[in-house]
Amino acid sequence: MNRRHVLGWLPLLAMLVWPHFAAAETAAADEPQFPIASRLGLTPPPGMTLSTAFQGFEDTANNIYIRLVAMPEAAYSEIEKSMTNQALKKQNITVEKREPFALQNAKGMLVVARQEAGNEKLRKWLLIAPLGGLTALVSLEIPLSAKQQIYAEAAIRKSFASVTTRPTVPAAEQLALVPFKLGDLAGFQVAGVVPGRAVQLNDGGQEEPDTTERPHLVIGIAPGGPPNAGDRDSFARLAFASPPNLKDVRILSSEPMRIGGQPGHEMRVTGKDAKSGADVEVVQWLRFGSGAYLRMIGFAPKQGWVEAYARFRAVRDGMVPR
């Protein structure tokens, strides 16, 4: 990883160490708790609860927050090198101490610092550790105006030492992050989620944005859409925008239809895989709403298309807004 990649981590570090203020609910427990859709979890200090606004924990009465960020395992060594006292100083963070920190199955680095953010003065605890195939970044922030005895140093260290991972995130948690419900996955697995916007389904459960070798379906929601019914066909053609992994694309049909009781549009397309030259079939469905539209696009090899199309339809027909 070169210096450009190192610098690329800094915006995420800034997000982790920057103050975050939000509301939350749910109760703490004596065993590690996992924020929704997070592979990272920990046992929070008594008085802190899981947040529903971000991946972490909070005590809103005292404006105290723990934030968890999971990054690729390879990021650890580069972050360890690049997160110098000087680099943090540029974010108005003054390091008080830096030390090795032992977890149950890993050893990381702990930084304790002070930060000035506008009128706020904070004490920051920042842990970076390679853990379970990930790089774990954990940040705790406490206003300097707060009573420090609310969370004693021993309680904070105990909580940080409990950081752990889980091998996968349950599909139900991932799907809870998108603004629609899928009543029937038709045998597909969740391969990736863009919170609040989109989900990718396939048979392997691994993100494969460019593959056409296996059936996969991407469902997303976006603002806008044509106000007039007569513009929907041209809108659908523009929305399709031939994927770079396809060549020799040919539109077989493009017509209006009803989807879930709302106005919609179906477009059927054929093409060839850009690498292998294998025949590929594609379907795009658009469902139009008030100020937004839902887009579903399914890819599958021509051999096996009939079965894949039936599965795509099952997912489509089982989908409802939240």
What's domain 3-165's superfamily in CATH?
Mog1/PsbP, alpha/beta/alpha sandwich (3.40.1000.10)
Query: pLDDT tens across 49-76, in order?
Result: 999 888 999 999 989 999 999 998 999 9
Q: Which of 113-127, 202-216, 272-286 has the highest mean pLDDT?
A: 272-286
Question: Quick one: CA dihedral 69, 72, 74, 78, positive or negative?
Answer: negative
Rounded to whole angstroms, the Cα distance separating 124 from 208 reads 37
Domains 3-165 and 171-321 share a fold: yes
Assigned CATH topology for domain 171-321: Protein Transport Mog1p; Chain A (3.40.1000)
pLDDT band at 212 (very low <50, low <70, confident <90, very high): confident
Count the residues in the chain: 322
Find the angle CA(175)-CA(179)-CA(213) to the nearest 5 degrees: 55
Q: What average pLDDT does this structure show over 299-307?
A: 95
Q: What is the pTM of this model?
A: 0.66
Domain borders along the chain are 3-165, 171-321
CB distance 92 to 116 below 8 Å? yes
Residue carrying structure tokens 């029937």? 184
Coil, strand or helix at 303: coil
Residue carrying structure tokens 């937004």? 292
Q: What is the DSSP letter of 14?
A: H
User: Phi and psi at residue 89, in whole multiples of 5°?
Assistant: -60, -35
Q: In Å, how far are 45, 67, 75, 143, 144 from 148, measured between CA atoms?
A: 13, 19, 32, 9, 8
Query: pLDDT tens across 237-292, in order?
Result: 999 987 778 899 999 999 999 999 999 999 999 999 988 999 999 999 999 998 89
How deeply is 128 buried, as exposed, middle or buried, from its count of CB atoms within 10 A (0-12, 13-18, 19+)? buried
Query: pLDDT tens across 172-201, in order?
Result: 888 988 999 999 999 999 988 888 899 999
Rounded to whole angstroms, the Cα distance separating 31 from 41 reads 10
Q: Taking the CA of residue 116 as centre, how many other CA atoms within 13 Å lie in the half-sphere pointing to its CB?
A: 6
Nearest CA among 173, 14, 27, 19 for reference residue 79: 14
- Portion of the chain with pLDDT greater than 90, in percent: 60
CB distance 272 to 262 below 8 Å? no
How deeply is 212 buried, as exposed, middle or buried, from its count of CB atoms within 10 A (0-12, 13-18, 19+)? buried
